[in-house]
Amino acid sequence: MIATEKAFPEKKWKRLERGGGIADRFFMKGRFWFVVVPVLLVFLMNSLQAADKPFVLFLVGDEEYRSEESLPMLAKILRRDYGYRVEVGFSVDEKGFVDPMNTESLTKMSLLKEADLVVMFLRFRRPPRYDFEYFLKYLEEGKPVVAFRTSTHAFRFADGEGLNDWGYQEDPDKIHSNAGGDRVRELLGQSWIVHHGHFDDGTKPLTQVSLVDEEHPVMRGVRPFKAYSWLYHVEGGGDTLAGNPNILLKGRALKSNKMDKLDRYPIENPVAWTKTYKGKDGREGRVFMTTLGHPYDFQEVAMRRLAIQGMLWALGKEAKIPEKGVKVPFVGNYAPNNSGYGEGRFKAGMKPEDLFPN
């Protein structure tokens, strides 16, 4: 008998000839691990790539600061430079046109159940309760949040809806009536208090922005600049920020209607900070918050860099921020309307896909 026959007795030859068990054939021919290992490697590589390509959901809706233009601009940069999956939810009218005056509309909130980061620039939104539940569940999981300016008063529900802690309209007859908001303060660090006044909106800067924590990853490559945003009061005169935030930037009002009340409303205030909050199971979620956000602020490289680096930090990806900061050239053109409240101040007739093509 030849060597091959000794190694494989007659019964095993017959099993192979009639198509014996798959495992037998792979083991016999030494191919099992050559097939399984590559499959496992592909699975692991795909999993790692998915973890490195998070899903970022932008929620946009304010009547004054043209966030429907500025945040899609940032979303385009994030998608182009990092390949992340990015979606933008807008306030729209009954025909599907972007309408920041429709405070009861905020699309794509259901995608919060998939999102790894929510970026919000909201003011007085009152989404349906079933949509708002997606936001509450997102926070229960301790996921990260990035927020701009009017997000200190992101929501305004009717008194009696059971959501007063998120902000409610105390006087239905007053268009700017707003109360409550303790949960917003707990999440972001502060709720709405007051600002230092409007002066010649968009014609000249109103706040000098200076650095506080230059060593923080979000601050890499960020330089002092002048902002068109009028200064929000968030701290001082008896008011404190919640959650022990790390102040990154401070602003000094270049013009103020509070000059006779500076003990109560200091001329300098924080304008950007980081903090954390705790989800339902105690998991800590990162928060980056800035009270800046005039549409012209984003024409500054420093402002766009601050915003994108705030998002990367919130995602736990500060290692992607180089020492000199990320590059943030526009994707296409950015020519926003000036700030201003009411109909006729935003670009009418725009669909979501016009502002953020998929």
CATH number of the domain residue 310 falls in: 3.40.50
28-73: pLDDT as tens digits: 455 544 544 444 444 444 444 445 799 999 999 999 999 999 999 9
Q: Do 59 and 161 fall into the same domain?
A: yes
Any domain includes 316? yes
Are the C-beta atoms of residues 269 and 233 closer than 8 Å to each other? Answer: yes
Listed residue (333, 332, 341, 285) closest to 313, CA to CA: 285
Any domain includes 308? yes
Q: Do 17 and 107 fall into the same domain?
A: no
Any domain includes 76? yes
CA 297 to CA 273: how far, in whole Å? 17
What are the φ/ψ torsions at residue 322 (nearest 5 degrees)?
Answer: -70, 165
Q: Average pLDDT for residues 99-128, to the nearest whole number?
A: 98
Q: Average pLDDT for residues 105-109, to the nearest whole number?
A: 98
Any domain includes 236? no
Domain span at residue 142 reads: 55-195+272-355
Q: Do 126 and 71 fall into the same domain?
A: yes
Q: Do 8 and 65 fall into the same domain?
A: no
Q: Do 186 and 308 fall into the same domain?
A: yes
Any domain includes 237? no
Does 134 have pLDDT greater than 50?
yes
Q: What is the pLDDT of residue 44?
A: 40
Banded model confidence at residue 24, pLDDT cuts 50, 70, 90? low
Q: What is the pLDDT of residue 343?
A: 86
Are the C-beta atoms of residues 303 and 291 closer than 8 Å to each other? Answer: no
Q: Average pLDDT for residues 293-297, to the nearest whole number?
A: 98
Return the percentage of the chain with pLDDT > 90, whole number. 80
Any domain includes 153? yes
HEC states along 161-195? CCCHHHCEECCCCCCCCCECCHHHHHHHCCCCCEE
Any domain includes 232? no
- For the stretch 96-122, what's the b/e string if a residue is b when 16 or more beta carbons lie within 10 angstroms of its beta carbon? eebbbebbebbbbbebbeebbbbbbbb
Q: What is the pLDDT of residue 30?
A: 55
Q: Do 93 and 128 fall into the same domain?
A: yes
Amino acid 86 reads V
Q: Average pLDDT for residues 341-355, to the nearest whole number?
A: 94
Q: Do 19 and 130 fall into the same domain?
A: no
Does 22 have pLDDT greater than 70?
no
- Looking at the structure of the chain, the number of domains it has is 2
Q: Do 152 and 289 fall into the same domain?
A: yes
Specify the DSSP class assigned to residue 157.
E
Q: Do 152 and 23 fall into the same domain?
A: no
Averaged pLDDT of the chain: 90
Strands 168-169 and 232-233: unpaired
Any domain includes 253? no
Q: What is the pLDDT of residue 171?
A: 85
Q: Do 67 and 23 fall into the same domain?
A: no
DSSP 232-249: EE-SBTTB--SS--EEEE
Q: What is the pLDDT of residue 5?
A: 44
Which residues, 6 or more positions from 244, have their beta carbon under 8 angstroms from its beta carbon? 275
